[in-house]
Amino acid sequence: MPDEHACTASPQPRVIAHRGASGHRPEHSRAAYDLAVTLGADAIEPDLVVSRDGVLVLRHENEISGTTDIASRPEFRDRRTTKRVDGQRVTGWFTEDLTWEELRTLRVRERLPALRPASAAYDGSGGILRFEDLLALLDAAPRPVGLVAEVKHATFFAEQGLPLDELVDAVLGEAGWRSDPRLTFESFEKQVLLDLRARGTGGRSVYLMERRGAAADERARHGSAAPTYAAERTDAGLAGLASRFDGISVDLSTLMAGVDSVAVGDDREVRSGVVERAHAAGLTVFTWTLRAENRFLPAPLRRDGDLAAHGDWARWFTSVMRTGVDGVFADQPDLALAARSMLP
């Protein structure tokens, strides 16, 4: 496994199973996590949200109608509501409106059934997991597997009286993971990462950055004057981030800006400005998300006309890795590992 603290080009970037092996099994399910370990992923990425009674649960969003069977459950019909989460109006069912005892009765399902019917065949085969359930799964794994935990909607949850830094730290302490070297945290909000560090919680801190817009905690604090993600990716912005965090994580379009997708995959150099500048500032760089389906590939690399079919993923994955990025998030970690093995 490569050195996570190196800030030079990484010929062998870490492969992080995005929500488990979510290209093969419903995301954040036990089956997805187990498969990611079996396939050889270097690390697993869960998303942390919270129940009404303060239990950290593993879902991509706090609105769960797209990844569970809650919409078909008559006993929860009255919980459907509309909220504004991080500035976005969202309608559905939310984890913070249900207790853990209620959430544990739900069954998980594939978020993209039209694109991933093989994964959808596992709908209903598992339930929602807690953070501690995943920690126990990793402790029982036959080899060391890292954890890159994304802390979601921290400002929103704090306003609901659910402080994620406190809850995360408590679970890690109870599970014996508080100083575990396998641990990395990431968030689209800086403050929760700083709060975890202030508590003495171990692990590396990675700041997630959208291509556009500004972080929810910065908008809450500064309104329209909040610094944008783009401004934070300037040389001065990266230098400031390097004084507080170990790395950044950017979307593929930001990473590959200016790279000709037709030319990728051959022997020509693949250079990413954000990787080079972030490394120069002393930051590691991660990117999200590698997916093999045509739907998610650059148009010149799609094959067969079916959006659900796999296109020329090898050409795309290897090109992304050749930027010198330190880690990649992948829905199909087996394919990302295969691509990594093709690197010189």
**Ordered domains of the chain (ranges, CATH):** 14-63+131-341 (3.20.20.190)
pLDDT of the residue at 304: 86
pLDDT of the residue at 266: 58
pLDDT of the residue at 259: 79
* pTM of the predicted structure, to 2 decimals: 0.95
Query: Residue 339: CA atoms inside 13 Å, Cβ hemisphere, count?
Result: 28
In angstroms, the CA 19 to CA 150 distance is 10
- The list of the chain residues with pLDDT below 50 reads 1-9
How far does CA 148 lie from the centroid of its chain? Answer: 8
pLDDT of the residue at 305: 82
3-state DSSP assignment of residue 294: helix
pLDDT of the residue at 261: 56
Residues in CB range of 243: below 8 A, 6 or more apart: none
Q: Which residues are 249's β-sheet partners?
A: 208, 286
